[in-house]
Amino acid sequence: MNTKKILGVIAVFIMGFILGSFWCSREKSEGTNQESMHGAMMDMAGGLHGKTGDAFDQAFLSEMIVHHEGAIEMAETALMYAKHDEIKRLAHAIIAAQTEEIENMRQWENVWYKGGEDTSVSDITNTSWTWRTAVVGGDATIEPSSPDTFTVTFHADGKVSGTTDCNSFSGTYAREGDVVTIGQLASTKMFCPDSQESQFTDALTEGPLTVSFEGEEVLVLRFSESTALFFDRKR
């Protein structure tokens, strides 16, 4: 056998060894990841075993917050690398829903077990907000044509007031827990073609709205898991 043939045989052998090692390593890695995830879930479930009452609730909140944070990390990865828009829309919905749930669970944990005050709704009292966007059905978005003109203020006496791209309005609101209901609104009577006023005010008075916050600067008024209004704190 001449030198070229010998070198060719050696090259094929080496390539086969490298590819075989790669796929073996990949299969082991995937198997390890699946086993790790399964083990983590089993550990979470095991942490609840034998607990009842407050002990169960506290452990459940602690474990579920960790679970949700993991889901958000996976969803953020999907936003970066997923090919299909359907997966990216699902990732957005997961991030929005589970971020809100984490906020709720941390609030309960703070009030029930750490001696904190319930600030989930009282934070809207005497605050003013500017409408940033609306998310409808988890993926469609509606944005104001004149962002700074759409505002809402929640007063301490149960009154609500605000402005649109056409008129100003006022009314009342009632709250129970984290749910706020805005009553019928009275407004000035200017006529403005192409105004988004009705979209904004109809959404505010659509029905009970679940209140949550993203940090201290963003207010979320949610109609359902997939439909919500987002506001920035007005300065």
Mean pLDDT, residues 58-80: 86
**What six digits make up the tokens of 8?**
């060719």
Between residues 22 and 212, which one has the greater pLDDT? Answer: 212
- Using alpha carbons, select from 188, 180, 189 the residue that is nearest to residue 155: 180
pLDDT of 40 reads 52
- For the entire predicted model, the pTM comes to 0.49
Q: Mean pLDDT over residues 84-103, rounded? A: 84
Average pLDDT value for residue range 165-170: 93
Return the CATH number of 122-233, one of 3.30.565.10, 2.40.30.10, 2.40.128.270, 2.40.50.1020.
Answer: 2.40.128.270
125-135 pLDDT, tens digit each: 888 999 999 98
pLDDT of residue 3: 45
The answer to whether 3-113 and 122-233 have equal CATH topology is no
3-state secondary structure 9-55: HHHHHHHHHHHHHHHHHHHHHHHHHHHHHHHHHHHHHHHHCCCCHHH
pLDDT at 44: 57
**What are the extents of the domains in the chain?**
3-113, 122-233
Question: Across residues 126-149, what is the average pLDDT?
Answer: 86
105 backbone φψ class: left, alpha, beta (φ>0; ψ -120 to 50): alpha
Give domain 3-113's CATH number out of 1.10.287, 1.20.1260, 1.10.150, 1.10.3470. 1.20.1260
33-56 mean pLDDT: 65
* The pLDDT value given to residue 116: 58
Over 70: is that where the pLDDT of 24 sits? Answer: no
Q: Which residue has the higher pLDDT, 28 or 106?
A: 106
Q: What's the CA gap between 66 and 44, in Å, rounded?
A: 9
Q: What is the pLDDT of residue 69?
A: 85
Q: What is the mean pLDDT of residues 16-44?
A: 49
Query: Looking at the predicted structure, is the pLDDT value of residue 67 above 60?
Result: yes
Where does the pLDDT of residue 15 fall: very low under 50, low under 70, confident under 90, or very high at 90 and above?
very low
pLDDT of residue 46: 62
CA 168/CA 151 separation, integer angstroms = 9
